[in-house]
Structure 1
Amino acid sequence: MEKIYYSWDDISNLIKNNIEPIQKYNPDYIIAIGGGGLIPARLVRNYINKPIYVVTLSLYDDETIGNKVNIIQWINLNLKDKKVLIIDEIDDTRKTMDFCVKELVEKNNANDMCVFVLQNKLKNKLGVLDNVNYHACQNIDDKWVVYPWDL
């Protein structure tokens, strides 16, 4: 699969140029999906000073997409009536994000969520994001993305 490489400056500029809707949303909490969402979440926090919590999910095995989302780490936090910003690096199949949103509703009573990703791959998705605000900094073709923290 063809690869796209992003630099630290690319990532910084993507966030800087797309932060306004997130600032207007004004979340109470940031939920980073570990590992890919950790660095983007910290960079977003430069613009909105909110606490970061981490949920760790696994769908990928090395460079191949698995069939089932596995919970590695979850949070113990009541999110009812709180604005929750969920951050990951990329929306590929949407399977992980769909799973995360549903689990936050079921386990944490979340009822006001916004998803923020650096890139959205333009392809058919395996998951849906109903009743969730969605913001992708960039829409891209279906290529393997290499971030500066992957090198």
Structure 2
Amino acid sequence: MNKFHISYNEVHNIIQKLSVKILKDFKPDVIISITGGGLVPSRIIRNYLKCDVLCVGVKLYNADDTRNNKIVKYQWLENNLENKKVLIVDEVDDTRTTLGYVIKELKKENPKELACCVIHNKIKEKTCEIPSYCSYYVGEETDDVWIAYPWETDNINEHQKYCKK
């Protein structure tokens, strides 16, 4: 599979534009970051949306990039989301397995409104649909390529060499 390297600057610019789209019709009370890939994007989005960030820990992939057979839930919320406008943030919508799981689980918390956003949506078949009760915001549509985000590398200088200029 081809790899697409993206720089911090590119990510920040995509998120800035994405935040403008979100704020046109949704003002969240809280951001829910899906740990791992969603942490850095959530922090950047917070700059524009001006609300608290909470985290949920779920994973489909292990640290060595091997895939689990099912979602592993290792951290969840203690905060009450009832009657709150909630924005879920992750870096990429690949198969939609993780995002679909988090949407379904957070709906049980009775939020007033639920929305989700990703930096990248891979144009490919998904495991589920985004429910009609959840708004969906995308920074960029991409082909089905491996996206290498800068926060995933152990050598940022090497990563930068592969980023488009």
Band the TM-score falls in, shorter-chain normalisation: over 0.9
Q: Structure 1 residue 123: deviation in Å? A: 0.4
**Residues 1:83 and 2:85 aligned together:** yes
Taking structure 2 as the reference length, what is the TM-score of the superposition? Answer: 0.86
**Residues 1:58 and 2:69 aligned together:** no
Please name the residue that 1:48 is paired with: 49
Please name the residue that 1:149 is paired with: 151
SS of residue paired to 2:49: coil
- Larger CA deviation: 109-118 vs 35-44: 109-118
1:16-31 correspondence runs (5 A):
16-24=16-24, 25-31=26-32
Gaps of 5+ in 2: 154-165
Distance 2:86 2:67 in 1: 27
**Residues 1:39 and 2:40 aligned together:** yes
Which letter does structure 1 place at the counterpart of 2:89? I
Gaps of 5+ in 1: none
**Residues 1:5 and 2:2 aligned together:** no
Which letter does structure 2 place at the counterpart of 1:96? T
Which letter does structure 1 place at the counterpart of 2:5? Y
Distance 2:66 2:126 in 1: 16
Please name the residue that 1:72 is paired with: 74
Q: Do 1:97 and 1:127's aligned partners in 2 also have CA atoms closer than 8 Å? A: no
Please name the residue that 2:110 is paired with: 109
Cα deviation code 1:73-123 (max 9, x no counterpart)? 0002222221100000000010101100111112x2234111110000000
Taking structure 1 as the reference length, what is the TM-score of the superposition? Answer: 0.94
SS of residue paired to 1:47: helix
Distance 1:49 1:93 in 2: 30
Question: Which contiguous aligned blocks of 4+ residues in structure 1 show a shift greater than 3 angstroms?
Answer: none
Which letter does structure 2 place at the counterpart of 1:121? K
Distance 1:124 1:66 in 2: 19
Report sequence identity in percent.
Answer: 40
Q: Do 1:30 and 1:50's aligned partners in 2 also have CA atoms closer than 8 Å? A: yes
SS of residue paired to 1:70: strand
Q: Do 2:35 and 2:56's aligned partners in 1 also have CA atoms closer than 8 Å? A: yes
Please name the residue that 1:128 is paired with: 129
Q: Structure 1 residue 127: deviation in Å? A: 2.2
Which letter does structure 1 place at the counterpart of 2:74? I
Distance 2:129 2:102 in 1: 11
The number of aligned residues is 150
Structure having the higher Rg:
2
